[in-house]
Amino acid sequence: MKAIWALAAKDLRLLLRDRADLFWILGFPIVMALFFGSISGGGGPRAALPIAVVDQDASPMTQSIVDRLRSSEGLKVREAPLDSARNLVRRGDLVAYVLFPAGTGASFGFGGDSTQSVEIGVDPRRSAEREYLRGFVTAALFQSIQGSFGASGGGRDQVRASLDQLRENPDIAPEARERQGTMLRALESFMVALDSTRTDTATGGTDGEAAGPNIRVVEVTEDDSGPRSAYEVTFPSSIAWALIGVCMSFAVSLVQERMTGTFLRLRLAPIGRATILAGKGLACALAAAVAVTIVLCLGVFVFGVRISNPPLLAAAIGASAFCFTGVMMVVSVLGKTPPSVAGAGWGIMLLLSMTGGGMIPLVAMPAWMQAVSNYSLVRHAIVAVEGAVWRGFGWGEALPPLGILIGAGILGMAVGSRLLRTDRA
């Protein structure tokens, strides 16, 4: 029994001397607790959803709706032309745009055809926010309608004008004419009841919602691509795990070679250190490129993923593989043994993935964490592939993420090579 206690004490002393192991046993769980706590609400308020508003009607009614959207704490609103708004959503810079076409004010947002319906264009990756945004717009619309009804009969005048215009417009189909006429007459009756009984806001909102405003939601992707499936939107994120798996495999194999003496024997051979590292890096880059290609081929041939720009996709795969080869070089020198390198590497990779959108949707993160995500290489790899698969990026739009990936790869190779030179193994 004394021998067992002696062996256990020995292992505990060795553990206390290894700072890296202590961090992964004690420090990393604390980091993860803080991370998930901040996501669950302990790390500050959720980020407001950035959207663009396109007011083509420019009426007092639509301006009132825009003002109410601006006053919402859940939205960060900017005004923009329609083409610019669509481009910003397609690139992922905004969650959505809200379009108020000409005639929205006259129909109170209840237009009977698509030319007068309020349009919400959303980023396909942000589908969870569709009904959230619809609720914001619907609430702002009903609040503006109620404000109009209470403004000295101004709402009634607008309803009557809309009814006259409806009767005189020969281009409206009979079914649409009847539907819009019924809705406008119901609004007029509601306004009379509001003025006579001073009904509160909640009751007015409930009555109005029974009719329901005409709001349509569309996905914003490249022109003429059609709606995207869930697989097309999510498959680019799977490349993060292919890159991480290859990166960690080569990092652990490199430390194993150093530990077993294989790396030392290679250094004694009549080849330079740069040649050894270049061969290891080339193998890692090729393996990463092949792994990502296999994943995307599975998406194309099995799940119907459509690729909008194959040359750009090839560049994105190459840049991502090069980047994570540099990451592999740095990770491989974070410890002296395979377990220590694996622990450090997987900890770093999990943080990069979680902050980069590989595990947790960016919308679920608080504002400060969304800002941190800009420093995650996983995010830039996903954006580069998304741009080629369904966002419809041109080369100019793809240059920032591609440049970041290539720059990070160069820096990682330089740092990793320098640390390997100073290593005595």
Among the candidates 219, 243, 268, a domain finishes at: 219
Please state the pTM of the whole predicted model: 0.66
pLDDT in tens, 286-302: 898 888 888 888 888 88
Q: Are residues 279 and 375 in the same domain?
A: yes
- Quick one: which of 306, 291, 275 has its CA closest to 386? 306
Q: Are residues 203 and 267 in the same domain?
A: no
Residue 247 within a domain: yes
Residue 15 within a domain: no
Q: What is the pLDDT along the chain (425 residues), one digit of tens a residue?
A: 666 676 566 656 765 676 665 565 566 556 655 555 555 555 555 567 889 999 988 888 888 889 989 988 888 899 999 988 888 888 878 889 999 988 777 766 665 555 567 888 888 777 667 788 888 888 888 777 766 655 444 556 666 667 667 676 777 777 777 777 776 676 666 556 555 544 443 333 434 344 456 788 887 776 545 556 667 777 777 888 888 888 988 888 888 888 887 776 766 677 767 777 788 888 988 898 888 888 888 888 888 888 888 999 999 999 999 999 999 999 988 888 888 888 889 889 988 988 887 777 665 667 777 788 889 999 999 889 988 887 888 899 899 999 999 999 999 999 988 887 776 54
DSSP 320-345: HHHHHHHHHHHHTTS-SSHHHHHHHH
Among the candidates 219, 252, 268, a domain finishes at: 219
Residue 36 within a domain: no
Q: Are residues 285 and 212 in the same domain?
A: no
Q: Are residues 258 and 373 in the same domain?
A: yes
Q: What is the pLDDT of residue 267?
A: 67
Residue 144 within a domain: yes
Q: Are residues 261 and 210 in the same domain?
A: no
Residue 11 within a domain: no
Q: Are residues 331 and 309 in the same domain?
A: yes
Q: Are residues 183 and 252 in the same domain?
A: no
Among the candidates 186, 219, 252, a domain finishes at: 219
Q: Are residues 190 and 234 in the same domain?
A: no
> What is Dmax (Cα atoms) for the chain?
102
- Strands (E) in 292-404, as ranges, are none
Q: What is the pLDDT of residue 95?
A: 86
Total number of domains constituting the chain: 2
CATH code of the domain containing 214: 3.40.1710
**Contact status, residue 218 vs residue 210, Cβ threshold 8 Å:** no
* SS3 state at 366: strand
Q: Are residues 190 and 114 in the same domain?
A: yes
Q: Distance between CA atoms of 325 and 417, rounded to whole angstroms?
A: 12
Residue 352 within a domain: yes
| Residue 302 domain boundaries | 226-422
Residue 212 within a domain: yes
Q: What is the pLDDT of residue 147?
A: 66
Residue 140 within a domain: yes
Tell me 150's DSSP state: T
Q: Are residues 254 and 306 in the same domain?
A: yes
Q: Are residues 194 and 143 in the same domain?
A: yes
Report the b/e string of 142-172 with b at 16+ CB within 10 A: bbbbbbbbeeeeebbebbeebbeebeeeeeb
- Strands (E) in 64-155, as ranges, are 75-79, 96-100, 118-122
Q: Are residues 213 and 230 in the same domain?
A: no
